[in-house]
Amino acid sequence: MIKKMILALGPWLLLADGLHARAEEAVQLDALTVQASALTERQGALLSRELTGTRGQSVAEAVKSVPGVAAVYRGANAAEPVIRGLGWERVQTQLGCLSLYGACPSRMDPPAGYVSPFAVESVVVEKALPSVTLGHGGTAGRVVINPDHDRGVGAGSGVEGDVRVTWDEGRDGYSSSATAQGGTEDLDFRAEAGMASLNDYESGDGKTVPANLDEYTASLSLGYRPGEGQRVFGSVLFKQEEDVDYPALPMDIKESTATMTVFGYRSEQAGQTIERFEVNGGYAFVDHVMNNENKSNRKMMEAETPSEAISYNAKVALDLRAGDGRLLTVGADAEHLDRDATRTRKMLATGMTFKDHIWPEVTRDVYGLFGELNLESSEALTVRVGGRVDFAESEAGATGDKMFFGPGIPPATILDLYGRYNGPDGRRSDADDTLFSGNILAEWQAAEPLLVYGGLGRISRYPAVTEQFFAFAPAPGGYLIGNPALDSEDKLEATAGAVYTHARSRFELSGFVAQVDDYIYQTAIDRVDVNGDGTLDTVRGFRNIDAELFGGEVAMDLTLAEGWTLPASLSYVAGRNTTDGRDLPEIPPLGGEAAIRYDASGDLSWWAEAGLQFAATQDRIDETFPEDETAAYQVFHLRAGLVLACGLELEAGVENLFDEDYNQHLTREAVLPAGDLAAGDEVPAPGRSFYVTAKVGF
């Protein structure tokens, strides 16, 4: 482990040698802005300006600009964040204190994809050792979304906003948004509405890839200051998607709607024993319907799955001043989650209909207690130490339902199938666990130009609903069944890094090493002819293994001359299944971004940028997952923008300038013939495409 830590940090420390910094400033790194304290240097903080400057349709797309963050794609419009090689529900997504969950058992709807980048104030990506006050889980990290539009005391009265439209030639479609924000001396508001209609795209070698999307978003945030140091706030966000294509899945979205609400109160009194008191709550409801209406297997079978996810959260916390340089935060939080999904299959040859209760009325409750102490032992050293305990209870209420397939699997209850594939300990309808998490993180102002941080911590998560209680049912790659006997996942992680700035240039480096005990691993557990068609089907399940990961990131924003900047970043992670002696699946390859940009000021404000995104060959794969090797690629772009005196801003660009034919390693393969793709084909990325954006402010 020590050797791997040295390997992870060594290149970044060599690169940083001799650079200079001024730690008091916060400097923009292209689409990434990081605050001055090293306790937040390991966070990617996307502020409103950076979020609205992206062309992605969701927060999930926006956070890919943070070094160390990649994304799994099962469709062109559904990015699921992967932080330092770990994804799925290891990445905890939350809106304020509200944990967000998708409603699709096949993960069509990663929760960060339900939030428009135009609807929120900031997004923080916690890549390592997140504060225990944020909530349970998150062995990969957290995506923390802040929807509260707080202009601050003394902002005055006024209203401003903008209307924006983008035409995407490669998708033969458009996206648009309208925002307005402002308020009075004590009242803040922000409102947003948007819509998008995008179509299929062509790859670099001319293959048509299904990628249709129609969506509508709306949001409203209100905040009020009833007295000095007090604030009441509330936000509601809505998103609806229709007719969304997923070539890597056996179904597409017919319609999916998400409604998310958060609210709270806080009081801040500097110098008092209780410096801060806050209470927060939230509610989310996702209603999701998918079917195979546009899939090639529709001639043999009609299939549709309505599903839903409902979650509630509540949190209370106190900041207690425990003397000079000591601030203690204590609190409690609670969460309730309901998930349910039933697939209906009608076999056209026989007229028989089957119902698969694939999420059998699953509920989960989590109650947590936390405490965190921040110490300022000197002007140069700050230490944060915290711990939390969580009590989790899960139950599947419909495991007595019978499942019907073919001669390979006789009719059986969900409970019996749990036992068949997971042993006697797996034949159960409930599970509970007590989880412990804690970490210590220190920052040191080694010299005025140098800020260094490091820490060690443990974080635990209980199995996700799909991992624990998915009923035996068709899934990509064959069939899938959950395992109620899974142990919780425990991650021990060490992280370190440094930040240097000099004038208007900035350099950041970080490294980590992690040991994951009881890593929840999806793998093949049986081969059987389920439906009696003479072909063996793969049955996949979940098992606990041990794993190791290490890697790091480096990023810079170098000022070359007046107006000229060079933003660049590089990320690397390696993951190993130490139980079975092979590589972990879905690990992104070495990759990064670089650009050269010119910003002109004066009577005419304009900018231009030439850049590229690149990735190395990924040959460290898990063939049993299964996944294939992917080739290296370099994709170039040209972009430019112009700001006119009348308040009109124009931007235009060309993506994939040289029409490169490539596919990203984390994009899953086509499961059925679709467009110009055959079953099992790698899904290629879009070829050369042009876009233009017009924005009018008021």
- How do residues 655-664 score in pLDDT, each as one tens digit? 999 999 999 9
- pLDDT score of 32 more than 50: no
- DSSP annotation string for 486-511: PPPEEEEEEEEEEEEEETTEEEEEEE
Q: Is the peptide bond before 626 cis (omega within 30 degrees of 0)?
A: yes
Average per-residue pLDDT for the chain? 90
The predicted structure's pLDDT at residue 364: 97
Distance from the Cα of residue 317 to its chain's centroid = 25
**Does residue 354 or residue 399 have the better pLDDT?**
399
Between the CA of residue 17 and those of 449, 450, 461, 523, 639, what are the distances in Å?
Answer: 12, 11, 38, 44, 33
Instruction: For residues 92 and 127, give the distance between their C-alpha atoms in angstroms, rounded to a whole number.
Output: 11
- pLDDT score of 34 more than 80: no
Residue % of the chain over a pLDDT of 90: 79
In the block, tokens 């709270």 appear at 264
- pLDDT score of 20 more than 50: no
Average pLDDT value for residue range 481-495: 97
Instruction: For residues 138 and 127, give the distance between their C-alpha atoms in angstroms, rounded to a whole number.
Output: 10
The predicted structure's pLDDT at residue 53: 64
Contacts of 432 (CB under 8 A, 6+ apart): 391, 392, 393, 394
* Domain 2-150+157-697 of CATH type 2.40.170.20: yes
The predicted structure's pLDDT at residue 406: 72
Among 127, 128, 143, 193, which residue's Cα sits nearest to residue 165?
A: 193
Average pLDDT value for residue range 485-493: 97
Q: 469: helix, coil or strand?
A: helix
- pLDDT score of 325 more than 90: no
Question: Can you point out the beta strands (E) in 269-352?
Answer: 274-291, 301-321, 326-347
**What global pTM score does this model have?**
0.91
The predicted structure's pLDDT at residue 49: 64
- How do residues 83-104 score in pLDDT, each as one tens digit? 999 999 999 999 999 999 999 9
Average pLDDT value for residue range 31-49: 47
Task: Count other C-beta atoms under 10 Å from residue 310's C-beta.
Answer: 17
Distance from the Cα of residue 655 to its chain's centroid = 23
The predicted structure's pLDDT at residue 267: 96
Average pLDDT value for residue range 451-465: 95
- pLDDT score of 75 more than 70: yes
Q: How big is the CA angle at 291 (ends 286 and 293), to the nearest 5 degrees?
A: 145
- pLDDT score of 580 more than 70: yes
- pLDDT score of 1 more than 60: no
524: part of which helix (H) or strand (E)?
A: strand 505-528
**What tokens appear for 348 in the block?**
């056209």
How many residues in total does the chain contain?
698
- How do residues 534-556 score in pLDDT, each as one tens digit? 889 899 999 999 999 999 999 99
298: part of which helix (H) or strand (E)?
A: none
Average pLDDT value for residue range 635-645: 94
- How do residues 396-452 score in pLDDT, each as one tens digit? 999 999 988 777 788 899 999 999 999 999 999 999 999 999 999 999 988 888 899
> Domains of the chain: which residue ranges?
2-150+157-697
- pLDDT score of 8 more than 50: no
- Taken in order 396, 518, 547, 92, the sign of the CA dihedral is positive
Grade residue 48 by pLDDT with cuts at 50, 70 and 90. low
Average pLDDT value for residue range 493-512: 92
